[in-house]
Structure 1
Amino acid sequence: MNNFPLFFIHIPKTAGSSFRVAAEQYFGSDATYFDYGQGSKETHPDILKYEYELKDRYLAAKCIKNNAKFLSGHVIYPKYAPFFQPKSVVTFVREPAQQIRSHFEHFSRLHGYKGSFKDFIKENRFANMQSKALNGVWNDAIGFIGITERYSESITLFNQYYSTDIKVLDINKNTAKPSGAYMFSEDEISLIRKMNPQDFALYDYALKRFDLHKDLLSKGLPLVRFGEMNLALKDKGKQLNMWGCCYEQEEALEADILLDDEVVDELKLSDYRAQGAERNIHRSGFVGKVYKYPATFEKGQVVKVREKQTQLIMFKDVVS
Protein backbone atom coordinates (compact mmCIF):
# COMPACT_ATOMS: atom_id res chain seq x y z
CA MET A 1 0.00 0.00 0.00
CA ASN A 2 1.42 3.40 -1.01
CA ASN A 3 1.73 5.65 2.05
CA PHE A 4 2.27 8.89 0.15
CA PRO A 5 1.29 11.64 0.11
CA LEU A 6 1.07 11.94 3.86
CA PHE A 7 -1.58 14.21 5.37
CA PHE A 8 -0.16 15.96 8.44
CA ILE A 9 -2.79 17.49 10.69
CA HIS A 10 -0.80 20.30 12.28
CA ILE A 11 -2.42 20.97 15.64
CA PRO A 12 -1.14 24.33 16.96
CA LYS A 13 1.66 24.26 19.53
CA THR A 14 2.44 20.55 19.38
CA ALA A 15 5.90 20.74 17.73
CA GLY A 16 4.21 20.64 14.35
CA SER A 17 6.35 23.39 12.86
CA SER A 18 9.51 21.44 13.60
CA PHE A 19 8.00 18.35 12.00
CA ARG A 20 6.66 20.03 8.87
CA VAL A 21 9.92 21.86 8.18
CA ALA A 22 11.88 18.64 8.64
CA ALA A 23 9.43 16.87 6.35
CA GLU A 24 9.82 19.58 3.70
CA GLN A 25 13.59 19.19 3.88
CA TYR A 26 13.22 15.44 3.44
CA PHE A 27 10.57 15.34 0.70
CA GLY A 28 11.64 18.55 -1.06
CA SER A 29 9.75 21.81 -1.55
CA ASP A 30 8.22 20.73 -4.86
CA ALA A 31 6.64 17.68 -3.22
CA THR A 32 5.39 19.54 -0.14
CA TYR A 33 2.02 21.28 -0.07
CA PHE A 34 0.77 23.55 2.71
CA ASP A 35 -2.76 24.64 3.54
CA TYR A 36 -2.64 27.31 6.25
CA GLY A 37 -5.62 29.26 4.96
CA GLN A 38 -6.35 31.74 2.21
CA GLY A 39 -4.44 34.55 3.91
CA SER A 40 -1.23 32.59 4.46
CA LYS A 41 1.74 33.05 2.17
CA GLU A 42 2.68 29.44 2.92
CA THR A 43 -0.48 28.00 1.35
CA HIS A 44 0.36 26.30 -1.94
CA PRO A 45 -0.78 28.09 -5.14
CA ASP A 46 -2.76 25.03 -6.27
CA ILE A 47 -4.70 25.03 -3.01
CA LEU A 48 -5.24 28.79 -3.18
CA LYS A 49 -6.59 28.40 -6.71
CA TYR A 50 -8.82 25.36 -6.38
CA GLU A 51 -9.80 25.32 -2.70
CA TYR A 52 -10.12 29.02 -1.93
CA GLU A 53 -10.78 30.75 -5.27
CA LEU A 54 -12.71 28.16 -7.28
CA LYS A 55 -13.97 26.38 -4.15
CA ASP A 56 -13.43 22.96 -5.69
CA ARG A 57 -11.73 20.83 -3.07
CA TYR A 58 -11.78 17.78 -5.32
CA LEU A 59 -9.47 19.49 -7.81
CA ALA A 60 -7.26 20.78 -4.99
CA ALA A 61 -6.93 17.25 -3.65
CA LYS A 62 -6.25 15.90 -7.14
CA CYS A 63 -3.26 18.25 -7.43
CA ILE A 64 -2.04 17.15 -4.01
CA LYS A 65 -2.37 13.47 -4.85
CA ASN A 66 -0.65 13.89 -8.22
CA ASN A 67 2.22 16.12 -7.14
CA ALA A 68 2.85 15.97 -3.40
CA LYS A 69 4.34 13.55 -0.94
CA PHE A 70 3.42 15.64 2.10
CA LEU A 71 0.46 17.90 2.91
CA SER A 72 0.46 19.99 6.08
CA GLY A 73 -1.93 22.53 7.53
CA HIS A 74 -3.91 23.83 10.49
CA VAL A 75 -6.88 21.88 9.19
CA ILE A 76 -9.14 19.25 10.73
CA TYR A 77 -9.22 15.64 9.61
CA PRO A 78 -12.56 15.80 7.70
CA LYS A 79 -11.31 18.49 5.30
CA TYR A 80 -9.19 16.08 3.27
CA ALA A 81 -10.39 12.75 4.69
CA PRO A 82 -12.04 11.47 1.48
CA PHE A 83 -8.72 11.67 -0.35
CA PHE A 84 -6.40 9.85 2.07
CA GLN A 85 -6.09 6.37 3.49
CA PRO A 86 -6.00 6.72 7.30
CA LYS A 87 -2.56 5.08 7.33
CA SER A 88 -1.31 8.21 5.56
CA VAL A 89 -2.76 10.57 8.20
CA VAL A 90 -0.26 11.74 10.83
CA THR A 91 -0.33 14.17 13.74
CA PHE A 92 1.26 15.10 17.07
CA VAL A 93 -0.54 15.60 20.39
CA ARG A 94 0.69 17.37 23.51
CA GLU A 95 -0.20 17.33 27.20
CA PRO A 96 -3.33 19.53 27.12
CA ALA A 97 -2.41 22.07 29.80
CA GLN A 98 0.97 22.66 28.14
CA GLN A 99 -0.62 22.97 24.69
CA ILE A 100 -3.19 25.48 25.94
CA ARG A 101 -0.66 27.66 27.74
CA SER A 102 1.67 27.62 24.76
CA HIS A 103 -1.22 28.50 22.45
CA PHE A 104 -2.20 31.36 24.76
CA GLU A 105 1.35 32.76 24.72
CA HIS A 106 1.48 32.44 20.94
CA PHE A 107 -1.91 34.09 20.45
CA SER A 108 -1.04 36.93 22.79
CA ARG A 109 2.37 37.48 21.22
CA LEU A 110 1.49 37.24 17.55
CA HIS A 111 -2.27 37.73 17.23
CA GLY A 112 -2.90 40.51 19.72
CA TYR A 113 -5.01 38.52 22.17
CA LYS A 114 -5.75 40.86 25.11
CA GLY A 115 -7.58 38.58 27.53
CA SER A 116 -6.12 36.82 30.56
CA PHE A 117 -5.01 33.21 30.56
CA LYS A 118 -8.24 32.22 32.34
CA ASP A 119 -10.24 34.11 29.73
CA PHE A 120 -8.42 32.13 27.07
CA ILE A 121 -9.15 28.81 28.78
CA LYS A 122 -12.87 29.61 28.96
CA GLU A 123 -13.23 30.32 25.24
CA ASN A 124 -14.79 27.35 23.46
CA ARG A 125 -12.81 28.02 20.29
CA PHE A 126 -9.61 27.13 22.17
CA ALA A 127 -11.07 24.16 24.07
CA ASN A 128 -10.45 20.54 23.03
CA MET A 129 -8.51 21.73 19.99
CA GLN A 130 -6.59 18.51 19.64
CA SER A 131 -9.57 16.17 19.68
CA LYS A 132 -11.56 18.53 17.44
CA ALA A 133 -8.82 18.29 14.82
CA LEU A 134 -9.17 14.50 14.71
CA ASN A 135 -12.94 14.33 14.87
CA GLY A 136 -14.55 12.01 12.33
CA VAL A 137 -12.17 9.07 12.40
CA TRP A 138 -11.60 6.23 14.84
CA ASN A 139 -8.52 7.30 16.77
CA ASP A 140 -6.71 4.00 16.34
CA ALA A 141 -7.19 4.20 12.57
CA ILE A 142 -4.91 7.26 12.32
CA GLY A 143 -1.63 6.21 10.79
CA PHE A 144 0.68 7.88 13.29
CA ILE A 145 0.17 9.92 16.46
CA GLY A 146 3.39 11.37 17.81
CA ILE A 147 3.86 12.74 21.32
CA THR A 148 5.29 16.26 21.66
CA GLU A 149 6.96 15.47 25.00
CA ARG A 150 8.65 12.48 23.33
CA TYR A 151 9.51 14.23 20.09
CA SER A 152 12.82 12.57 19.20
CA GLU A 153 11.41 9.18 20.06
CA SER A 154 8.36 9.97 17.93
CA ILE A 155 10.48 10.83 14.90
CA THR A 156 12.37 7.56 15.29
CA LEU A 157 9.11 5.61 15.41
CA PHE A 158 7.69 7.56 12.47
CA ASN A 159 10.75 6.82 10.34
CA GLN A 160 10.61 3.17 11.28
CA TYR A 161 6.98 2.83 10.31
CA TYR A 162 7.03 4.85 7.07
CA SER A 163 10.59 3.95 6.00
CA THR A 164 11.65 7.61 5.91
CA ASP A 165 14.63 9.52 7.29
CA ILE A 166 13.14 12.75 8.63
CA LYS A 167 15.53 14.63 10.92
CA VAL A 168 14.85 15.96 14.42
CA LEU A 169 14.50 19.75 14.32
CA ASP A 170 13.59 22.12 17.13
CA ILE A 171 12.09 25.37 15.85
CA ASN A 172 9.33 27.92 16.51
CA LYS A 173 9.79 27.90 20.27
CA ASN A 174 8.88 30.82 22.51
CA THR A 175 12.37 32.14 23.18
CA ALA A 176 11.06 34.35 26.01
CA LYS A 177 9.89 31.28 27.92
CA PRO A 178 12.23 29.78 30.51
CA SER A 179 13.26 26.21 29.83
CA GLY A 180 11.08 23.43 31.14
CA ALA A 181 7.33 22.96 31.36
CA TYR A 182 4.77 25.62 32.17
CA MET A 183 3.58 25.66 35.77
CA PHE A 184 -0.07 26.13 36.79
CA SER A 185 -2.12 26.99 39.85
CA GLU A 186 -4.66 24.48 41.11
CA ASP A 187 -7.46 26.74 39.87
CA GLU A 188 -5.95 26.90 36.40
CA ILE A 189 -5.51 23.13 36.18
CA SER A 190 -9.06 22.59 37.42
CA LEU A 191 -10.44 24.98 34.82
CA ILE A 192 -8.33 23.47 32.02
CA ARG A 193 -9.56 19.98 32.90
CA LYS A 194 -13.16 21.16 33.04
CA MET A 195 -12.95 22.77 29.59
CA ASN A 196 -10.87 20.08 27.86
CA PRO A 197 -12.02 16.59 28.91
CA GLN A 198 -11.79 15.19 25.37
CA ASP A 199 -8.20 16.40 24.96
CA PHE A 200 -7.12 14.80 28.22
CA ALA A 201 -8.78 11.53 27.18
CA LEU A 202 -7.08 11.71 23.77
CA TYR A 203 -3.66 12.39 25.28
CA ASP A 204 -3.93 9.50 27.75
CA TYR A 205 -5.00 7.22 24.93
CA ALA A 206 -2.21 8.44 22.63
CA LEU A 207 0.45 7.69 25.26
CA LYS A 208 -0.75 4.10 25.63
CA ARG A 209 -1.03 3.64 21.89
CA PHE A 210 2.45 5.07 21.30
CA ASP A 211 4.01 2.54 23.67
CA LEU A 212 1.98 -0.30 22.16
CA HIS A 213 2.96 0.56 18.59
CA LYS A 214 6.59 0.97 19.59
CA ASP A 215 6.56 -2.43 21.28
CA LEU A 216 4.90 -4.21 18.35
CA LEU A 217 7.27 -2.71 15.78
CA SER A 218 10.33 -3.50 17.91
CA LYS A 219 9.27 -7.15 17.99
CA GLY A 220 8.53 -7.30 14.29
CA LEU A 221 4.86 -7.97 14.98
CA PRO A 222 1.94 -6.64 12.92
CA LEU A 223 0.74 -3.22 13.94
CA VAL A 224 -2.89 -4.07 14.65
CA ARG A 225 -5.48 -1.32 15.05
CA PHE A 226 -8.77 -1.75 16.85
CA GLY A 227 -11.54 -0.12 18.82
CA GLU A 228 -14.99 -0.58 20.29
CA MET A 229 -18.02 0.69 18.42
CA ASN A 230 -21.32 2.01 19.73
CA LEU A 231 -23.44 -0.41 21.73
CA ALA A 232 -26.96 0.10 23.04
CA LEU A 233 -27.15 0.35 26.83
CA LYS A 234 -29.32 -2.80 26.99
CA ASP A 235 -26.59 -4.76 25.17
CA LYS A 236 -23.67 -3.76 27.40
CA GLY A 237 -22.27 -6.79 29.20
CA LYS A 238 -24.06 -9.06 26.73
CA GLN A 239 -22.07 -8.52 23.54
CA LEU A 240 -19.15 -6.66 21.97
CA ASN A 241 -19.28 -4.45 18.89
CA MET A 242 -15.76 -3.96 17.56
CA TRP A 243 -13.54 -3.18 14.61
CA GLY A 244 -9.95 -4.11 13.92
CA CYS A 245 -7.44 -4.50 11.10
CA CYS A 246 -3.79 -4.35 10.10
CA TYR A 247 -2.95 -2.00 7.23
CA GLU A 248 -0.05 -4.17 6.13
CA GLN A 249 -2.21 -7.21 5.34
CA GLU A 250 -5.34 -7.86 3.32
CA GLU A 251 -6.53 -10.70 5.55
CA ALA A 252 -9.05 -9.98 8.29
CA LEU A 253 -7.82 -10.08 11.87
CA GLU A 254 -8.60 -13.30 13.71
CA ALA A 255 -8.99 -13.55 17.46
CA ASP A 256 -9.63 -16.00 20.28
CA ILE A 257 -12.43 -15.49 22.77
CA LEU A 258 -11.31 -16.10 26.34
CA LEU A 259 -13.73 -16.67 29.21
CA ASP A 260 -11.97 -16.34 32.56
CA ASP A 261 -8.70 -16.78 30.61
CA GLU A 262 -9.77 -20.03 28.92
CA VAL A 263 -10.16 -20.12 25.12
CA VAL A 264 -13.80 -20.90 24.35
CA ASP A 265 -14.39 -19.50 20.85
CA GLU A 266 -12.82 -17.62 17.95
CA LEU A 267 -13.88 -14.94 15.51
CA LYS A 268 -12.84 -13.00 12.42
CA LEU A 269 -13.23 -9.22 12.14
CA SER A 270 -14.57 -9.27 8.61
CA ASP A 271 -18.06 -7.76 8.70
CA TYR A 272 -18.95 -4.55 6.91
CA ARG A 273 -18.89 -1.24 8.74
CA ALA A 274 -20.23 1.78 6.86
CA GLN A 275 -18.02 4.29 8.67
CA GLY A 276 -14.98 2.16 7.92
CA ALA A 277 -15.86 2.22 4.22
CA GLU A 278 -16.65 5.94 4.17
CA ARG A 279 -13.33 6.81 5.80
CA ASN A 280 -11.30 4.37 3.66
CA ILE A 281 -10.15 2.63 6.84
CA HIS A 282 -9.16 -0.70 5.23
CA ARG A 283 -10.64 -3.68 3.36
CA SER A 284 -13.46 -1.47 1.99
CA GLY A 285 -14.91 -1.31 5.49
CA PHE A 286 -15.01 -5.07 6.12
CA VAL A 287 -13.28 -4.76 9.49
CA GLY A 288 -16.03 -5.29 12.08
CA LYS A 289 -17.67 -7.91 14.24
CA VAL A 290 -20.48 -8.17 16.77
CA TYR A 291 -19.90 -10.99 19.23
CA LYS A 292 -22.97 -11.95 21.25
CA TYR A 293 -22.23 -13.85 24.42
CA PRO A 294 -23.55 -17.40 24.42
CA ALA A 295 -26.15 -18.37 27.04
CA THR A 296 -23.47 -20.44 28.76
CA PHE A 297 -21.59 -17.27 29.75
CA GLU A 298 -22.46 -16.41 33.35
CA LYS A 299 -22.80 -13.05 35.06
CA GLY A 300 -19.49 -11.78 36.42
CA GLN A 301 -17.29 -13.84 34.11
CA VAL A 302 -14.55 -11.95 32.26
CA VAL A 303 -14.57 -11.97 28.45
CA LYS A 304 -11.40 -11.11 26.52
CA VAL A 305 -10.69 -10.88 22.81
CA ARG A 306 -7.08 -11.86 22.00
CA GLU A 307 -5.67 -11.19 18.53
CA LYS A 308 -4.02 -14.35 17.23
CA GLN A 309 -0.83 -12.99 15.60
CA THR A 310 0.28 -10.65 18.39
CA GLN A 311 -1.50 -12.31 21.35
CA LEU A 312 -2.67 -8.79 22.20
CA ILE A 313 -5.78 -8.42 24.35
CA MET A 314 -7.84 -6.02 22.23
CA PHE A 315 -11.06 -6.01 24.26
CA LYS A 316 -12.12 -6.90 27.78
CA ASP A 317 -15.63 -7.03 29.27
CA VAL A 318 -17.58 -8.47 32.18
CA VAL A 319 -20.74 -10.48 31.54
CA SER A 320 -23.83 -8.90 33.09
Structure 2
Amino acid sequence: MASEYAHFVRHYGYKGSFRDFYSRPVMHNRQSKILHGVSYESVGVIGLTERYSDSLELINARYGIEIPHREDNQGKTRLEAVHDLEEDEIAELKHLNQRDIALYEHSKRLFDSRLALFRDGLPYAHAHVVEATTQRVAGWAWWAGDNEAPVEVEVWINGELQARVMAAELRPGLCRLRVPRGGYIGFHLPVKLSAGDQIQCRVAQTRQAFPVRPLYAEEPKGK
Protein backbone atom coordinates (compact mmCIF):
# COMPACT_ATOMS: atom_id res chain seq x y z
CA MET A 1 0.00 0.00 0.00
CA ALA A 2 2.85 2.38 0.82
CA SER A 3 4.46 1.57 -2.51
CA GLU A 4 1.18 2.21 -4.32
CA TYR A 5 0.81 5.54 -2.54
CA ALA A 6 4.34 6.60 -3.53
CA HIS A 7 3.58 5.58 -7.13
CA PHE A 8 0.43 7.72 -7.21
CA VAL A 9 2.33 10.69 -5.77
CA ARG A 10 5.21 10.38 -8.27
CA HIS A 11 3.27 9.63 -11.42
CA TYR A 12 -0.25 10.99 -10.92
CA GLY A 13 0.35 14.02 -8.73
CA TYR A 14 -1.72 12.70 -5.83
CA LYS A 15 -1.84 15.41 -3.13
CA GLY A 16 -3.64 13.67 -0.26
CA SER A 17 -2.02 12.12 2.80
CA PHE A 18 -1.11 8.45 3.08
CA ARG A 19 -4.06 7.94 5.47
CA ASP A 20 -6.44 9.63 3.01
CA PHE A 21 -5.13 7.31 0.30
CA TYR A 22 -5.49 3.99 2.10
CA SER A 23 -8.78 4.93 3.81
CA ARG A 24 -10.69 5.05 0.53
CA PRO A 25 -12.85 1.90 0.16
CA VAL A 26 -11.58 1.37 -3.40
CA MET A 27 -8.13 0.71 -1.92
CA HIS A 28 -9.25 -1.94 0.56
CA ASN A 29 -8.38 -5.58 -0.24
CA ARG A 30 -7.48 -4.70 -3.81
CA GLN A 31 -5.75 -7.96 -4.70
CA SER A 32 -8.62 -10.05 -3.33
CA LYS A 33 -11.07 -8.01 -5.39
CA ILE A 34 -9.03 -8.52 -8.55
CA LEU A 35 -8.97 -12.28 -7.95
CA HIS A 36 -12.62 -12.53 -6.89
CA GLY A 37 -14.07 -15.86 -7.96
CA VAL A 38 -10.66 -17.33 -8.85
CA SER A 39 -9.22 -20.20 -6.83
CA TYR A 40 -5.63 -19.23 -6.06
CA GLU A 41 -4.48 -22.81 -6.58
CA SER A 42 -5.62 -22.65 -10.21
CA VAL A 43 -3.35 -19.70 -11.06
CA GLY A 44 -0.48 -20.76 -13.32
CA VAL A 45 2.34 -19.12 -11.34
CA ILE A 46 2.16 -17.16 -8.11
CA GLY A 47 5.07 -14.80 -7.51
CA LEU A 48 6.19 -12.73 -4.55
CA THR A 49 7.88 -9.36 -4.99
CA GLU A 50 10.31 -10.01 -2.13
CA ARG A 51 11.18 -13.36 -3.78
CA TYR A 52 11.65 -11.79 -7.20
CA SER A 53 14.52 -13.99 -8.43
CA ASP A 54 12.81 -17.22 -7.38
CA SER A 55 9.52 -16.05 -8.86
CA LEU A 56 11.15 -15.23 -12.19
CA GLU A 57 12.82 -18.63 -12.23
CA LEU A 58 9.44 -20.35 -11.73
CA ILE A 59 7.80 -18.26 -14.46
CA ASN A 60 10.56 -19.00 -16.96
CA ALA A 61 10.54 -22.71 -16.17
CA ARG A 62 6.75 -23.02 -16.26
CA TYR A 63 6.30 -21.29 -19.61
CA GLY A 64 9.59 -22.10 -21.33
CA ILE A 65 10.61 -18.47 -21.68
CA GLU A 66 13.66 -16.41 -20.68
CA ILE A 67 12.58 -13.14 -19.09
CA PRO A 68 15.80 -11.45 -17.92
CA HIS A 69 16.29 -10.37 -14.32
CA ARG A 70 15.77 -6.60 -14.22
CA GLU A 71 14.90 -4.22 -11.42
CA ASP A 72 13.17 -1.23 -12.98
CA ASN A 73 10.46 1.12 -11.72
CA GLN A 74 11.62 0.87 -8.12
CA GLY A 75 10.36 3.23 -5.47
CA LYS A 76 13.14 2.15 -3.09
CA THR A 77 16.89 1.89 -3.56
CA ARG A 78 16.90 -1.69 -2.27
CA LEU A 79 14.17 -4.32 -2.68
CA GLU A 80 14.51 -5.42 0.95
CA ALA A 81 14.12 -1.86 2.30
CA VAL A 82 10.99 -1.27 4.36
CA HIS A 83 8.61 1.68 4.38
CA ASP A 84 8.63 3.85 7.48
CA LEU A 85 5.05 3.63 8.78
CA GLU A 86 3.53 4.67 12.08
CA GLU A 87 2.20 1.94 14.39
CA ASP A 88 -1.36 3.27 14.19
CA GLU A 89 -1.16 3.24 10.38
CA ILE A 90 -0.01 -0.37 10.39
CA ALA A 91 -2.84 -1.36 12.74
CA GLU A 92 -5.41 0.44 10.59
CA LEU A 93 -4.05 -1.08 7.37
CA LYS A 94 -4.26 -4.56 8.87
CA HIS A 95 -7.85 -3.95 9.95
CA LEU A 96 -8.92 -2.63 6.53
CA ASN A 97 -7.17 -5.32 4.48
CA GLN A 98 -7.76 -8.58 6.32
CA ARG A 99 -8.72 -10.49 3.16
CA ASP A 100 -5.58 -9.36 1.35
CA ILE A 101 -3.41 -10.34 4.30
CA ALA A 102 -4.99 -13.80 4.37
CA LEU A 103 -4.46 -14.07 0.59
CA TYR A 104 -0.80 -13.11 1.00
CA GLU A 105 -0.16 -15.64 3.76
CA HIS A 106 -1.86 -18.35 1.72
CA SER A 107 0.15 -17.38 -1.36
CA LYS A 108 3.43 -17.57 0.55
CA ARG A 109 2.70 -21.13 1.64
CA LEU A 110 1.69 -22.06 -1.91
CA PHE A 111 4.82 -20.42 -3.31
CA ASP A 112 7.13 -22.26 -0.91
CA SER A 113 5.46 -25.58 -1.72
CA ARG A 114 5.79 -25.13 -5.48
CA LEU A 115 9.37 -23.85 -5.24
CA ALA A 116 10.41 -26.85 -3.13
CA LEU A 117 8.96 -29.23 -5.73
CA PHE A 118 10.73 -27.32 -8.49
CA ARG A 119 14.06 -27.53 -6.66
CA ASP A 120 13.58 -31.30 -6.32
CA GLY A 121 12.87 -31.62 -10.05
CA LEU A 122 9.23 -32.54 -9.45
CA PRO A 123 6.12 -31.13 -11.11
CA TYR A 124 3.45 -29.41 -9.08
CA ALA A 125 -0.26 -29.91 -9.39
CA HIS A 126 -3.00 -27.33 -9.30
CA ALA A 127 -4.95 -28.90 -6.46
CA HIS A 128 -7.67 -27.74 -4.10
CA VAL A 129 -10.02 -29.26 -1.50
CA VAL A 130 -13.47 -27.74 -1.92
CA GLU A 131 -15.31 -29.83 0.68
CA ALA A 132 -14.06 -31.31 3.94
CA THR A 133 -16.97 -32.49 6.07
CA THR A 134 -17.65 -35.40 8.39
CA GLN A 135 -19.27 -37.18 5.42
CA ARG A 136 -17.26 -36.21 2.35
CA VAL A 137 -13.89 -35.00 1.10
CA ALA A 138 -13.94 -33.53 -2.40
CA GLY A 139 -11.76 -31.38 -4.61
CA TRP A 140 -9.90 -31.18 -7.88
CA ALA A 141 -6.36 -31.58 -9.19
CA TRP A 142 -4.47 -31.42 -12.46
CA TRP A 143 -0.81 -31.25 -13.41
CA ALA A 144 0.79 -27.93 -14.27
CA GLY A 145 2.17 -27.88 -17.79
CA ASP A 146 1.37 -30.30 -20.57
CA ASN A 147 0.89 -33.49 -18.54
CA GLU A 148 -2.65 -34.70 -19.31
CA ALA A 149 -2.54 -37.72 -17.00
CA PRO A 150 -5.02 -37.74 -14.09
CA VAL A 151 -3.59 -36.96 -10.67
CA GLU A 152 -3.73 -39.68 -8.04
CA VAL A 153 -4.79 -38.17 -4.70
CA GLU A 154 -4.15 -39.56 -1.24
CA VAL A 155 -6.63 -38.61 1.49
CA TRP A 156 -5.08 -38.54 4.96
CA ILE A 157 -7.21 -38.47 8.12
CA ASN A 158 -5.58 -37.62 11.45
CA GLY A 159 -2.16 -38.38 9.99
CA GLU A 160 -3.10 -41.77 8.55
CA LEU A 161 -3.68 -42.68 4.91
CA GLN A 162 -7.39 -43.26 4.41
CA ALA A 163 -7.64 -43.93 0.67
CA ARG A 164 -6.30 -43.14 -2.79
CA VAL A 165 -8.60 -41.73 -5.48
CA MET A 166 -8.07 -40.54 -9.03
CA ALA A 167 -8.93 -36.94 -9.90
CA ALA A 168 -10.97 -37.91 -12.96
CA GLU A 169 -14.55 -36.78 -12.23
CA LEU A 170 -16.22 -34.06 -14.29
CA ARG A 171 -16.11 -30.54 -12.86
CA PRO A 172 -17.93 -28.46 -15.52
CA GLY A 173 -17.58 -25.26 -13.52
CA LEU A 174 -13.82 -25.33 -14.09
CA CYS A 175 -13.95 -25.79 -17.85
CA ARG A 176 -13.71 -22.02 -18.31
CA LEU A 177 -10.12 -22.34 -17.04
CA ARG A 178 -9.31 -24.69 -19.94
CA VAL A 179 -8.39 -27.51 -17.59
CA PRO A 180 -7.18 -30.85 -19.00
CA ARG A 181 -9.37 -33.73 -20.18
CA GLY A 182 -12.42 -31.54 -20.77
CA GLY A 183 -12.95 -30.90 -17.08
CA TYR A 184 -12.53 -34.45 -15.77
CA ILE A 185 -10.22 -33.36 -12.95
CA GLY A 186 -12.38 -33.79 -9.82
CA PHE A 187 -12.40 -36.32 -7.00
CA HIS A 188 -14.48 -37.18 -3.96
CA LEU A 189 -14.35 -39.70 -1.13
CA PRO A 190 -17.27 -40.63 1.17
CA VAL A 191 -16.07 -40.70 4.79
CA LYS A 192 -17.41 -41.13 8.30
CA LEU A 193 -15.57 -38.66 10.50
CA SER A 194 -16.08 -36.70 13.68
CA ALA A 195 -16.14 -32.93 13.72
CA GLY A 196 -12.59 -31.68 14.19
CA ASP A 197 -10.86 -34.65 12.56
CA GLN A 198 -7.81 -33.51 10.62
CA ILE A 199 -7.99 -33.80 6.83
CA GLN A 200 -5.20 -33.36 4.32
CA CYS A 201 -4.78 -34.49 0.74
CA ARG A 202 -1.53 -35.27 -1.04
CA VAL A 203 -0.49 -35.86 -4.62
CA ALA A 204 0.59 -39.50 -4.53
CA GLN A 205 3.38 -39.15 -7.10
CA THR A 206 5.16 -36.19 -5.46
CA ARG A 207 3.89 -36.00 -1.84
CA GLN A 208 2.65 -32.45 -2.53
CA ALA A 209 0.27 -31.60 0.32
CA PHE A 210 -2.88 -29.64 -0.33
CA PRO A 211 -3.92 -27.56 1.29
CA VAL A 212 -0.46 -26.87 2.71
CA ARG A 213 -2.06 -26.67 6.15
CA PRO A 214 -4.56 -29.39 7.15
CA LEU A 215 -8.30 -28.78 7.28
CA TYR A 216 -10.65 -29.92 10.04
CA ALA A 217 -13.85 -31.79 9.35
CA GLU A 218 -17.08 -29.84 9.82
CA GLU A 219 -20.64 -31.02 9.91
CA PRO A 220 -22.37 -30.64 6.51
CA LYS A 221 -24.21 -27.37 6.10
CA GLY A 222 -27.85 -27.51 7.10
CA LYS A 223 -27.32 -30.34 9.57
| TM-score band w.r.t. shorter chain | 0.7 to 0.9
Displacement of 1:280: 1.8
Displacement of 1:319: 4.5
Aligned to 1:263: 161
Q: Residues 206 and 302 of structure 1: is their aligned pair in 2 closer, same or farther, counting only changes over 3 Å?
A: closer
Please give the TM-score of this superposition, normalised by the length of structure 1: 0.60
List runs of 5+ in structure 2 lacking aligned partners: 219-223
Q: Residues 257 and 145 of structure 1: is their aligned pair in 2 closer, same or farther, counting only changes over 3 Å?
A: closer
Question: What is the CA deviation profile of residues 36-61 of structure 1, one whole-angstrom value per residue up to 9, with x for unaligned ones?
Answer: xxxxxxxxxxxxxxxxxxxxxxxxxx
Q: Secondary structure at the residue paired with 2:53?
A: helix
* Higher relative helix content: 1
The amino acid that maps onto 2:94 is: R
Q: Secondary structure at the residue paired with 1:145?
A: coil
Segment drifting more, 184-193 vs 264-273: 264-273
Q: Residues 161 and 186 of structure 1: is their aligned pair in 2 closer, same or farther, counting only changes over 3 Å?
A: same
Alpha-carbon contact 2:50-2:79 (below 8 Å) kept = no
Please give the TM-score of this superposition, normalised by the length of structure 2: 0.84
- C-alpha separation in 2, matches of 1:209 and 1:228: 14
The amino acid that maps onto 1:185 is: E
- C-alpha separation in 2, matches of 1:262 and 1:179: 41
- C-alpha separation in 2, matches of 1:150 and 1:103: 19
- 1:306 paired with 2:202, answer yes
Q: Residues 218 and 179 of structure 1: is their aligned pair in 2 closer, same or farther, counting only changes over 3 Å?
A: closer
Question: What is the CA deviation profile of residues 215-267 of structure 1, one whole-angstrom value per residue up to 9, with x for unaligned ones?
Answer: 111212121111132x5xxx733322311111332122112233333333221
- C-alpha separation in 1, matches of 2:105 and 2:93: 15
- C-alpha separation in 1, matches of 2:166 and 2:64: 30
Displacement of 1:301: 4.2
List runs of 5+ in structure 1 lacking aligned partners: 1-99
Alpha-carbon contact 2:50-2:80 (below 8 Å) kept = no
Aligned to 2:221: none
- 1:170 paired with 2:68, answer no
Question: What is the CA deviation profile of residues 109-128 of structure 1, one whole-angstrom value per residue up to 9, with x for unaligned ones?
Answer: 22222221111111122222
Displacement of 1:160: 2.4
Displacement of 1:108: 2.0
Equivalent of 1:150 in 37, 51, 74: 51
User: RMSD value over aligned CA atoms?
Assistant: 2.5
